[in-house]
Amino acid sequence: MEQKLLVARVDDLIRLCDRTGAPKFSDFLSEKQAQIVKQHLASLKKTAVFFGGYEGAQRTQAGFLPEGCSSECFPIVPVSLSFRKQDALSHRDFLGAITGLGLDRSKIGDILVEPGRAVAFLEPSAAKFVLSQICKIGKVGVKLQKGFEEPLPGVNSKKELSDTVASLRLDCVVASVCGVSRKEAAGYIGKDLVAVNSSVVDKATHKIGAGDILSVRKKGRFVIKSIDGVSKKGRTVLIYDKYI
């Protein structure tokens, strides 16, 4: 039912854009929802732009744009929240505080967190409400303002790592980069917790290549840099960046 409602909403946005010539946008979509929308658009031979407020966002809006519009048209407002670095706050803390205001998850994009700062990407009405209502996250005082300063928390922070894998199948690569067993990796894939290049992949046999970006929910994001090397035991040498 949820998928049918999502597809119906997309159809409405396409019709409105075609009829009015004005840009139309979906709510924020999870990676799984974005994949459903992309598949539906492909069946209609239609296109959309997916953007979440910054390059590489995991939660994105689907934008149906007439000629001349760009990502700057998207109704997304970044809100920065600053706090003392010694006060340990997590993504869950910020999401809980924002949804605790009664805001639906679909109005909230990515929330990026680092010591002393978080940046939340919100729809305009949600941003206005958050700016007026939040002064504490739990018992920790925070200061809020529109916009953000580069670099975004975690977006440009990477650590290069390497490992060897028996195969470039998705389950093997996920097991390697996440430090789990192949069975556990297959479980993540089967539960739609793994995305490749922002599209959820549910097949453990999917082959990974250089340049692919893997997102594993609650485990992190990884960029595959090289798969060219071969170890003495004939295993593929995997070199990748992990966002930290």
Question: Which residue range is the domain that position 66 belongs to?
Answer: 2-71
- Nearest Cα residue to 208 out of 184, 232, 233, 239: 239
Question: Has residue 243 got a pLDDT over 90?
Answer: no
Between residues 59 and 198, which one has the greater pLDDT?
Answer: 59
**Spatial CB neighbours of 162, under 8 Å, sequence gap ≥ 6:** 237, 238, 239, 240
Residues 234, 177 share a domain? yes
The domain total for the chain is 3
The residue type at 206:
H
Q: What is the pLDDT of residue 199?
A: 82
Give per-residue pLDDT as tens, 217-236.
889 889 999 999 999 999 99
CATH number of the domain to which 93 belongs: 3.30.70.330
- For residue 233, the number of C-alpha atoms closer than 13 Å in the C-beta half-sphere is 7
Give per-residue pLDDT as tens, 127-172.
999 999 999 999 999 999 999 998 899 776 788 999 999 999 999 9
pTM: 0.78
Residues 239, 164 share a domain? yes
Query: Scanning the structure block, which residue is given the tokens 């919100």?
Result: 122
The residue type at 150:
E
Residues 99, 55 share a domain? no
Residue 152 lies in a domain: no
Question: Has residue 1 got a pLDDT over 80?
Answer: no
pLDDT confidence band for 32 (50 / 70 / 90): confident
Q: Which helix (H) or strand (E) holds 182?
A: helix 182-190
The residue type at 123:
E
Mean pLDDT over all residues of the chain? Answer: 94
Q: What is the mean pLDDT of residues 88-93?
A: 93
**Spatial CB neighbours of 152, under 8 Å, sequence gap ≥ 6:** 54, 112, 119
